[in-house]
Amino acid sequence: EDHVADSEKRLMVFIGTRSGSIGDNGSGGHYAYRCSKAALNMAVKSLSVDLAARGILTAVLHPGSVATETRKGGQISVDVSVTGMRTIIDGLTKEMSGTFLRYDGGTIEW
């Protein structure tokens, strides 16, 4: 965290997925995967509390359902996902720290 505190942006961003949301789980299943993503969410929320005094911001970003070579059924392109996430990263504020955000700027409940 010292390297982050010494950096220009003071920002820690983690890639998560809606599968880690407890409140947005309407399909069940995938227990190990969902638990690992929910654990990431908790860690990032705790980091936001612990690092706030040092001016370090944190966020979890959900890239969306991205069409890739291994995921043909994706709904958006890599370019749309990355452009959206970069916009969020560039505009992240203290009030947004510790949140779970979609690539398009929407929030996801924990």
Domain ranges of the chain: 2-102
Mean pLDDT of 35-50: 98
Distance between CA atoms of residues 27 and 53, nearest Å: 38
Burial class (CB in 10 A: 0-12, 13-18, 19+), 83: exposed
- The CATH code for residues 2-102 is 3.40.50.720
Let me know: does 61 contact 14? Beta carbons within 8 Å.
yes
**pLDDT-based confidence at residue 38 (cuts at 50, 70, 90):** very high
CA 25 to chain centre: 16
What is the rounded distance in angstroms from the CA atom of residue 5 to the CA atom of residue 84?
Answer: 25
**What pTM does this model have?**
0.90
d(CA 42, CA 70) in angstroms, rounded, equals 28
Q: Give residue 1's pLDDT band: very low, low, confident or very high (50, 70, 90).
A: confident
